[in-house]
Amino acid sequence: MAGHRLTEATIDDEQTLRALIGEPTPLVHAKSSPTLNRLTRRFVEASPFLCIASADAEGRCDVSPRGDPRGFVRILDDATLLIPERPGNRLADTLRNILQNPHVGLIFVIPGIGDTFRVNGRATLTTCAELLRPCAVEGRLPKLGILVDIDAAYTQCSKAFLRSQLWDPARFVDRSTLPTSGELHREVNDESFDAEAYDRERAGRYARREGFY
């Protein structure tokens, strides 16, 4: 499919792409592994946050964050991870996608560290109490988890974090300079929506940690 509604200067095949960006080095190819090892396990164990990418049967994509105390993703063995599923907004985009298409991509982030860790694999939803029991936080067990059978695991270089200066406190943004969740709801849905009340009630729920676990 050539072109785009805004321009005809598009790339439509890998040969053209490679002519522009070149080939990866043999060393880059070699870093990918179908399993974890004693060193790469440490990235998973140290991470309190990840993003999981998934797609439905038609290829429509979603990326969703997951976070908990560091090491929240259980390493069941060198080829299998377990991500506990915590309460959310119940849209369940990731979970519904996995039911249609098991392929997922994970990127593990460690605060203050530029290198990230990537895992591509196949996901399965599980309610196995034995597997989920060690995932309890604040005395609450997750109702389900995401098992990930690893296809490829490798570190991602820190250039994106260095370019963005993500961990530089001087670059941190004051939250008050951006629209609140309530203001976004009002903008998208209804001018009569009480954004201030929504934000106030939401902040109260978060302060009480309602729905966290």
Give the pLDDT confidence score for residue 76 in this predicted structure.
98
Q: Are 61 and 180 in contact (CB under 8 A)?
A: no
**Residues facing residue 146 across a β-bridge:** 83, 125
Residue 33 domain-assigned?
yes
**Same domain assignment for residues 87 and 179:** no
Q: Are 110 and 46 in contact (CB under 8 A)?
A: yes
Tokens for 164?
A: 């963005």
**Same domain assignment for residues 127 and 198:** no
**Same domain assignment for residues 116 and 34:** yes
pTM for this model (two decimals) = 0.94
Q: Which residues contact 187 (CB under 8 A, 6 or more apart)?
A: 179
Mean pLDDT of the chain: 96
Residue 111 domain-assigned?
yes
**Same domain assignment for residues 196 and 120:** no
What is the 3 state secondary structure string of 75-91?
Answer: EEECCEEEEEECCCCCC
**Same domain assignment for residues 93 and 40:** yes
Q: CATH number of the domain at 67, please.
A: 2.30.110.10
**Same domain assignment for residues 51 and 117:** yes
CA 145 to CA 148: how far, in whole Å?
A: 10
Which domain, by its residues, includes 183?
Answer: 173-207
Residue 102 domain-assigned?
yes
Low-confidence ranges of the chain (pLDDT < 50): none
Give the pLDDT confidence score for residue 2 in this predicted structure.
66
Give the pLDDT confidence score for residue 189 in this predicted structure.
86
**Same domain assignment for residues 129 and 89:** yes
Residue 183 domain-assigned?
yes
**Same domain assignment for residues 177 and 89:** no
The per-residue b/e assignment along 88-111, b for 16 or more CB within 10 angstroms, e otherwise, is: eeeeebbbebbeebbebbbbbbbe
List of E strands, the chain? 49-55, 61-67, 74-77, 80-85, 103-109, 116-126, 144-156
**Same domain assignment for residues 110 and 192:** no
**Same domain assignment for residues 154 and 184:** no
- How far CA 52 is from CA of 104, 109, 121, 123, in Å, comes to 7, 11, 11, 11
